[in-house]
Amino acid sequence: MESRWSSTAVAAVCPVCGHDADEPFFETERVPVFCNVLWPTREAALAAPCAPIRLAFCRECGLICNEAFDPALAEYSPAYENSLHFSPRFQQYAMELARRLIDRHKLNGKNVVEIGCGQGDFLALLAEYGACRCTGFDPSFDGSNGAYNENVTIRREYYGEQHAALPADLICCRHVLEHIPDPLAFLQGVRRAIGERSGLLVLFEVPNAIFTLRDMAVWDIIYEHCSYFTSVSLGELFVRAGFEPLTVREEYEGQFLVIEARARRGEPEPDDEVKFLPDVATLCRNFSAAYRRKAGFWADQLAGLRAGKSRTVLWGAGSKGVTFLNALHVSPDVVEAVVDINPRKNGRFIPGTGQEVIGAEFLPLNPPETVIVMNPIYESEIKTTLANLGVKADVLTA
């Protein structure tokens, strides 16, 4: 498979800035292709397709890519489920983001298009708080969410230039861009669809690569993400695609990056500032060793739990949980089950390792002694849930 970022290629080209100064820094040979596709049986989960990850960073703009990514493996369908809206903490963030957008940009009664809308949760908030007329696009939409109202229409298809005539005052796209192999071509297509509507606001949200590298959020390295953006590489991408970035900011305690932009007319103004973040190179070059230390620490922790015959469950059947279990080859006799409050995941099985996903309400029936929490931002609400269920367990945060 030939890659634009292949270490064996004569000239590897960064898909954002076009430079050929990539530097490989991390690899792992076998991870599930989809962390957010769970399986109906343990046997099917154990046979889930896997692929390698080989990360490299661009010395010019700081973009990080998986040079081993094969788009042919990443076909999205209604089986894909990554909604976080069942978490009270995430719901609060999404509600605050929706209200800020409506207030700051006067979106009451306006038209909104969301690219990669999932099951329509965010569009439902915009329709509720701002009476926005919303249209979402997502091939993984399955129609199971009854949260949206008559102002929300969702199409089970990809957004493209063929939708240029669709009315829009805001185009938003949250946690999609990192899944797209050629983000520049994709954004240029969005820009062409906007045409002369220079007042139209564009908002994109992606995982923050600096948070992953700096805070050692190593379980965020997944095959589905072919690109990892810093604030600099994200801004550079939008400029090259024909947009004028208005703001690039960290959100969700630094875990996300949000960029707001408008269509630009003409060429960008010359920028003599040094764009590259100097510490990106250092963080990338130190990442493999730091990853091995963290993985080694957790391998020892799990060995101790197994030796002590502690009943252990993991909380979070999303990307972090699936990566943790697969990176450490954790079998169900060490971590018995995975808890998730998204009911659409319950009764299904984790790819690669085969744990069953259960709802929190089942924990009192066979209480665990140890709960491993995959994202520290949810630790407080998980502890509250455990207390309300009467489950007394040691809580460890991965």
Q: What is the pLDDT of residue 277?
A: 57
- 79 class by beta-carbon count within 10 Å (0-12 exposed, 13-18 middle, 19+ buried): middle
Q: What is the pLDDT of residue 4?
A: 32
Q: What is the pLDDT of residue 163?
A: 94
Q: What is the pLDDT of residue 3?
A: 31
Q: What is the pLDDT of residue 273?
A: 45
The tokens for 319 are: 């990307």
The tokens for 139 are: 């091939």
Other CB atoms within 10 A of residue 242 CB: 19
- Name the nearest CA neighbour of 335 among 364, 309, 357, 355: 355
**For residues 105 and 100, what is the distance between their CA atoms, to the nearest angstrom?**
8
Q: What is the pLDDT of residue 101?
A: 95
Q: What is the pLDDT of residue 171?
A: 98
Rounded to 5 degrees, what are φ and ψ at 130?
Answer: -120, 10
- Name the nearest CA neighbour of 202 among 176, 232, 226: 176
**For residues 59 and 19, what is the distance between their CA atoms, to the nearest angstrom?**
8
Where do the domains of the chain lie, and which CATH numbers do they carry? Answer: 88-263 (3.40.50.150), 299-397 (3.40.50.720)
- Name the nearest CA neighbour of 33 among 2, 89, 79, 64: 79
Cβ pair 94, 122 in contact under 8 A = yes
Q: What is the pLDDT of residue 79?
A: 74
**For residues 240 and 136, what is the distance between their CA atoms, to the nearest angstrom?**
25
Contacts of residue 279, defined as CB under 8 A and 6 or more positions apart, other chains included, come to none
**For residues 112 and 167, what is the distance between their CA atoms, to the nearest angstrom?**
8
pTM over 0.75: yes
Q: What is the pLDDT of residue 195?
A: 93
Q: pLDDT digit string (tens) for 49-95?
A: 999 999 999 988 889 999 999 999 988 776 777 677 778 889 999 99
- Name the nearest CA neighbour of 372 among 332, 333, 339: 339
Ranges of residues in the chain whose predicted pLDDT is under 50: 1-11, 272-274
Q: pLDDT digit string (tens) for 325-365?
A: 999 999 999 999 999 999 989 999 999 999 999 999 999 99
- Name the nearest CA neighbour of 81 among 18, 144, 11: 144
